[in-house]
């Protein structure tokens, strides 16, 4: 008994899982397209670059070691004016410095105060990485528009293929009806042939529609990198009842991130005009050592505190600040331009949604009236009042009205999702 219950639950869960996998949503396609796009790999590279830069900045507090070696020959050396003293003191030798001198030294510098450069460098690395991520997000966001075009294209042609199947069924029903009337001598062969030609035309149209849908599916599969889009059923996306006018596009976030990076560049300029303090220890071996009068190879060391101040940065700081201000103004212009163009797109898409909504209000009534006219024409044909051409004309007219209703509905859904893409809401 327990085994049966277990097997039943297993089968039920498996059925639910398969059912879930057999349906594809537009949100899934967004995610698949993003994950499949080659640029997604840049996120990993940006992360690595940030980590390397932060690590390098933190090492600014580590002792800096410098090793140097030199061998020189001088045209003259330091001498003491003691020649007369050697004449007065017999046996006194005045040492002379060698003109060839040698030195090998190592120096260790430990930063004590750098004006905040290391701390700000770490922050600058994080802000720059964030700006790169935001810029990449804005590039990946454009994939949504391409997914919209392909996804709704697939939905539209699926509906048109279904309408074409109904059209073929309608022609076949009338062919069967004419054959029955021919058996009773109430219809001609030409009537049947006219309906058969229309049926063949509908079948040709089916081939065209399926070819276009297959092309859309192939492109969507290539964009998402997932074959499930061709195998599973595509769900019609839910349509929101209200649309927000607020613009939350990632392009705006990318511009804000660039502004933060520029602001930090301005703070780095302030740090560049500050002095820095460090402790140092230098040790070496050479001839001469620290005692310039000793002409032998000696070891030596020097320790102390050093302050350095690059006054030359004051020459360029004003112009550098002006350059940053210009860059900030350009970013502000870029933001305003983007918002201007986006608002124009909002107006255009809003009008498209309004137009399609108005058209849809009459679609059902048009289809109902066209169906009534077709049925009346079929009845008159059965009575011998109307011709087969009249029947074909009305069947095609009804089919066109149904197609237009489908096109309006799918186009409205697509317009709404395009609007949501424009605002990112």
pLDDT tens across 212-250, in order?
999 999 999 999 999 999 989 999 999 998 899 999 999
| 263, 281: one domain | no
Given a cut of 80, whether residue 178 has pLDDT beyond it is: yes
Examine residue 129 and state whether it is found in any structural domain, yes or no: yes
Report pLDDT digits (tens) over 323-374.
999 999 999 999 999 999 999 999 999 999 999 999 999 999 999 999 999 9
**Residues 92-96: what's their mean pLDDT?**
65
Examine residue 4 and state whether it is found in any structural domain, yes or no: no
Given a cut of 50, whether residue 7 has pLDDT beyond it is: no
Examine residue 6 and state whether it is found in any structural domain, yes or no: no
How many alpha carbons fall within 13 Å on the CB side of residue 77? 18
| 148, 245: one domain | yes
Predicted confidence at residue 91, as pLDDT, reads 59
Element (H, E) at 65: strand 64-73
| 131, 235: one domain | yes
Which CATH number characterizes residue 349's domain?
1.20.1600.10
Which CATH number characterizes residue 87's domain?
2.20.200
408-412 long-range Cβ contacts below 8 angstroms, 24+ apart: 408/356, 408/359, 408/360, 408/363, 409/159, 409/360, 409/363, 410/152, 410/155, 410/156, 410/159, 411/152, 411/156, 411/352, 411/356, 412/239, 412/353, 412/356, 412/357, 412/360
Please state the φ and ψ torsions of residue 406, each to the nearest 5 degrees: -65, -45
Q: What single string gives the DSSP state of each residue in 24-60?
A: E-HHHHHHHHHHHSGGGHHHHHHHHHHHHHHHHHHGG
Predicted confidence at residue 58, as pLDDT, reads 87
**Residues 44-60: what's their mean pLDDT?**
91
End-of-domain residue from the set 308, 333, 361: 308
Residue position matching structure tokens 């260790």: 108
Residue position matching structure tokens 């001469």: 288
Examine residue 120 and state whether it is found in any structural domain, yes or no: no
Distance of CA 209 to the CA centre of its chain: 33
Distance of CA 386 to the CA centre of its chain: 61
Given a cut of 60, whether residue 21 has pLDDT beyond it is: no
| 78, 169: one domain | no
**Residues 78-93: what's their mean pLDDT?**
61
Given a cut of 70, whether residue 183 has pLDDT beyond it is: yes
CA distance 334 to 256: 11
Predicted confidence at residue 5, as pLDDT, reads 44
386 secondary structure, DSSP code = S
| 239, 331: one domain | yes
| 178, 69: one domain | no
| 162, 34: one domain | yes
| 56, 135: one domain | yes
Examine residue 13 and state whether it is found in any structural domain, yes or no: no
**85 pLDDT tier (thresholds 50, 70, 90):** low
End-of-domain residue from the set 308, 328, 355: 308
Examine residue 118 and state whether it is found in any structural domain, yes or no: no
Q: What single string gives the DSSP state of each residue in 261-313?
A: HHHHHHHHHHHHTS-EEEEEEEEEEEES-S-TT--S-EEEEEEEEEEE--TTH
Sheet with 276-287, strands from edge to edge, namely 64-73, 100-113, 276-287, 298-308
- Number of structural domains, the chain? 2
Q: Which two tokens stand for residue 89?
A: 């003191």
| 32, 81: one domain | no
Given a cut of 90, whether residue 19 has pLDDT beyond it is: no
Question: Containing domain of residue 354, as a range?
Answer: 25-62+125-273+315-423
Q: Report the DSSP beta bridge partners of residue 305.
A: 279
| 206, 107: one domain | no
Distances from the Cα of 302 to the Cα of 30, 105, 186, 206, angstroms = 66, 11, 123, 92
What is the pTM for the complete model shown?
Answer: 0.83
End-of-domain residue from the set 287, 308, 329: 308
Quick check: 423 and 240 in contact, CB under 8 A? Answer: no
Examine residue 96 and state whether it is found in any structural domain, yes or no: yes
Quick check: 343 and 295 in contact, CB under 8 A? Answer: no
**Residues 253-272: what's their mean pLDDT?**
94
| 190, 329: one domain | yes
Predicted confidence at residue 185, as pLDDT, reads 84
Element (H, E) at 164: helix 143-183
Where are the alpha helices (H) located in 60-142, listed in sequence order? 83-88, 117-141
| 237, 364: one domain | yes
Examine residue 389 and state whether it is found in any structural domain, yes or no: yes
């Amino acid at each position: 008994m327990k085994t049966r219950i277990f097997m039943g639950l297993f089968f039920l869960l498996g059925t639910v899982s398969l059912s879930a996998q057999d349906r594809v949503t537009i949100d899934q396609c967004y995610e698949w397209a993003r994950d499949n796009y080659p640029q997604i790999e840049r996120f990993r590279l940006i992360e690595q670059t940030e980590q390397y830069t932060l690590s390098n900045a933190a090492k600014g507090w580590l002792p800096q070691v410098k090793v140097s070696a030199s061998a020189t020959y001088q045209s003259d050396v330091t001498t003491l004016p003691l020649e007369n003293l050697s004449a007065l003191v017999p046996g006194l030798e005045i040492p002379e410095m060698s003109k060839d001198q040698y030195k090998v030294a190592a120096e260790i510098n430990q930063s004590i105060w750098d004006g905040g450069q290391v701390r700000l460098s770490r922050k600058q690395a994080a802000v720059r990485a964030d700006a790169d991520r935001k810029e990449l997000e804005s590039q990946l966001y454009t994939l949504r528009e391409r997914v919209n075009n392909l996804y709704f294209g697939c939905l539209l042609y699926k509906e048109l293929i279904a309408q074409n199947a109904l059209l073929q069924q309608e022609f076949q029903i009338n062919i069967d009806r004419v054959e029955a009337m021919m058996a009773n001598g109430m219809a001609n062969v030409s009537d049947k042939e006219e309906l058969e030609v229309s049926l063949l035309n509908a079948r040709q149209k089916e081939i065209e529609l399926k070819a276009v849908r297959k092309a859309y599916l192939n492109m969507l599969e290539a964009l998402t990198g997932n074959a499930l889009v061709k195998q599973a059923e595509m769900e019609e996306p839910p349509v929101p009842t209200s649309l927000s006018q607020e613009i939350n596009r990632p392009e705006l976030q990318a511009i804000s991130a660039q502004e933060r990076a520029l602001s930090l560049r301005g703070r780095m300029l302030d740090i560049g005009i500050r002095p820095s303090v460090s402790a140092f220890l230098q040790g070496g071996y050479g001839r001469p050592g620290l005692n310039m009068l000793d002409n032998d190879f000696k070891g030596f060391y020097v320790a102390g505190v050093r302050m350095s101040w690059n006054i030359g940065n004051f020459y360029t700081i004003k112009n550098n600040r002006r350059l940053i201000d210009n860059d900030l103004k350009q970013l502000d212009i870029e933001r305003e331009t983007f918002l201007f163009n986006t608002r124009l797109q909002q107006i255009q898409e809003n009008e498209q949604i309004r137009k399609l909504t108005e058209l849809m209000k009459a679609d059902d009534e048009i289809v109902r009236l066209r169906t009534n006219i077709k049925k009346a024409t079929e009845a008159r044909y059965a009575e011998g009042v109307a011709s087969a051409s009249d029947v074909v004309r009305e069947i095609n007219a009804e089919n066109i009205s149904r197609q237009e209703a489908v096109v309006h509905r799918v186009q409205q859904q697509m317009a709404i999702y395009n609007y949501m893409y424009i605002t990112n809401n």
